[in-house]
Structures are given as C-alpha cells and as structure tokens.
Structure 1
C-alpha cells in the first residue's frame, strides 16, 4: 500500500496549471477546468497527477486506462482488479491511496467546529468519545473521527450513500469499526505527518501499519 501527497498551491497559477493539464486524461482535464476557483482546479489536477504517477509506478500506461463506477459510484480501474485507489483533497493538499484491496482515504484541514455538530452526524458511541475530549483536544479528535469514518465509507464503495450513524468507529489503542454494512473486515491507520491536517486510511482485509507519505514534486 502507498500514500501519495501533493501540495497544490503552485498549480493555482494559470501558467503552471495549463502547462501540466495535458499530462492527465481528457476526463480529468475537463473535471479540473470545470471548477470556478483556482484552488479547486489545482486540487483536482493535483489528484489526477498523483494517479498518473501511481499508475506509471505500477507499470500501467495512464493514457490507456478506463474507469467504471462501483455500485456506490466509486471510480474503479477497468481491467486491473489488483489496483485499487482512492483520492481525497482538502486545503491545499491532494492525496492518493493505492492498495491491492479496496481502499478509502480522507484528508481534512482542521478548522474550528462547534461541539453541537457532533450530535447530528455520529453514532452514539462516537458522540460519547467526542464528549469526553477536552476543549483543546476536541478539534483534532473530531477530525480524527471524521476522517476515519469517511475513509471507511469510501473503502466500502458506498460513500455518502451510507449513513454516518449506520456504523461505529471504535476509538482506542487500535482503531476498529462495528458495522453491518457487509461481512468484510477492515483495517485503519492514521497519518500525522502534515501539521494542521487529519489523514486516515481504511483498507479491506485486516490490519495495516504506519504508511509514510510519498510526495510528488510540483514543477
């Protein structure tokens, strides 16, 4: 399993954006150009560039790939059943997770958020975890939990068609999930290499260890 990251601020420059746009497939070019704001265009292009890099490292020509949607509308690579990937972006960072089993990744830039919000989105066991956090520990704890939940939702392929309170992330020395979504097992890990951001990874099939970030250089 690999985790790639790109700091995309340089791609907000029109000259840099246009110079690298043709490196990604037409579908990604169209998606990146569809966004109104330069930051969003940069994040979308950055995600596409990361996927290009991962495909090339796996010996797959990015120009010849085709995608299809899972039942939950998660994009999957046609013809390469052992290449699973997932993208996420927030703030100025795009990330990509790659594994040989279904994977979900989520990154969130940590900003202030009211405690009351937790009651609307989480399972009762998770609410108890959040309520037990100190004032200074609430923001990082909230984003840890949020990214863990979203990474699981993405790993299942169901995404936000799965209700946030339909499963419980169990916070402890080892992260786990209590769920009735399917009969599969899932492993979790967190990445704390980027200050001010929370990053979580969920992979189908069991436990995973610490995953180092692999940064793609901007040109």
Structure 2
C-alpha cells in the first residue's frame, strides 16, 4: 500500500492529486502509468474506480494537508489538525469502551478520532456506526483482521490508516 502525504493541499485540485497518486501507485506496482479512470461513488459516497476494482483508495484532508492511501484491499484514512477543543463531551458521546479512557488529552482524542474515521471509511458504514466498535481492541472487516496505523509524523496533526495487515510505504507529494 502506498500512502501519499501532500502539504499545501487545495481541494479544488483533488482530481489532479488523485491522478498523480494513481500514476505513482501503478509504477510502484510495476505497471505503466495510465490515465486516471473514471470515479464513481459507492456506499455512503465512498469513491472507487469501476474499471479498476484492483485499486482501492481513501482520501482525507484537514487544513493544508491531505493524505491519500491506495492499495489492493479496502482502505480508510483520516487526518485532522489538532485543535484546542473541549474534547471530553465529544468523546463521551461518540467513543465506546476503551476509547473514552484512551482520549485523555486533546492529542490522544484526535488519535482515537482519526482511527475511528479511518475504520468507518474502510467499511463505508458512515457515522451511524461510530459507537459500534472500539479502536482500542481488535477489529475485523469481512472476516479479516484490520490494522490501524497511526500517522503521527506531521507536526500539529494526527492521522490514521485502516487496512488489512500489509506493508505501508509513505511518499510525499510536492
């Protein structure tokens, strides 16, 4: 799986960003870069390429950063700028089980939140399922274990990738 990180992301250029990542992903897989296939929306507006079911992706952006994960299995990703918010009432309302204890600071709150969002994007269940799972314990999707990988190397941001266990390669996009 390739995970692309872009600083100075502008959502008006979303298609160009996805196209660049798609080309890089194909090269990573040993294929020649090709034109970006048409996109469609699935369950809860999860984007996919109908003509390339072997390529799955998830895109998230916050403030001026974007993260795009691309691979051959279902993927979810999320990134959030750490903000000074009153996180405890939000955690008490939306978090479940061990997540409430894990969210003991604003940074840890965003760590839990991005893991929940990434898992929800993987499953395409939407926010209605947010209290049906606990990211501090084992998770599955379609009978396969899901690994949640933290993205903690961007100062002032928290992020997460949800996918089946696999190698993750991070790349910067200028």
TM-score (ref. length: structure 2): 0.85
1:160-179 superposed matches below 5 A? 160=127, 162-170=128-136, 176-177=138-139
Q: Residue 182 of structure 1: CA displacement?
A: 4.8
Q: Paired residue for 2:71?
A: 99
Secondary structure of the corresponding residue to residue 143 of structure 1 = helix
Deviation at 1:44, TM superposition (A): 4.0
Q: What SS does the aligned partner of 2:18 have?
A: helix
1:119-130 matched pairs, under 5 angstroms: 119-130=92-103
Cα deviation, 1:54-91, whole Å, max 9, x if unaligned, reads 222312312xx212222232011011111001110001
The offset of 1:93, in angstroms, is 0.7
Matches of 1:49 and 1:199, distance apart in 2: 22
**Could you tell me whether the CA contact under 8 Å between 1:148 and 1:169 is conserved in 2?**
yes
SS of alignment partner, residue 78 of structure 2: strand
Of structures 1 and 2, the larger Rg is shown by: 1
Paired position in structure 2 for 1:60: 34
Per-residue deviation, 1:123: 0.8
Trace 1:72-151 onto structure 2 (pairs within 5 A).
72-114=44-86, 115-130=88-103, 133=104, 138-151=105-118
Q: After alignment, is 147-156 or 47-56 more displaced?
A: 47-56
- The total of aligned residue pairs comes to 166
**Counterpart in 2 of 1:43?**
11
Aligned-partner Cα distance in 1 for 2:153–2:12: 22
Unaligned runs of 5+ in 2: 27-32
Asked whether the 8 Å contact 1:105–1:199 carries over to 2, the reply is yes
Between structures 1 and 2, the one with greater strand share: 2
| Cα deviations by residue, 1:2-25 (Å, 9 ceiling, x for unpaired) | 11122126xxxxxxxxxxxxxxxx
- Judge conservation of contact 2:102–2:112 (CA < 8 Å) in 1: no
Given that residues 88 and 107 in structure 1 are in contact (C-alpha distance below 8 angstroms), is that contact kept between their aligned partners in structure 2?
yes
Structure 1 unaligned regions, length at least 5: 10-41
Give the TM-score normalised by the residue count of structure 1.
0.69
**Structure with the bigger percentage of helix:** 1
- Asked if structure 2 preserves the Cα contact closer than 8 Å seen for 1:43 and 1:92, the reply is no
Q: CA RMSD in A?
A: 2.0
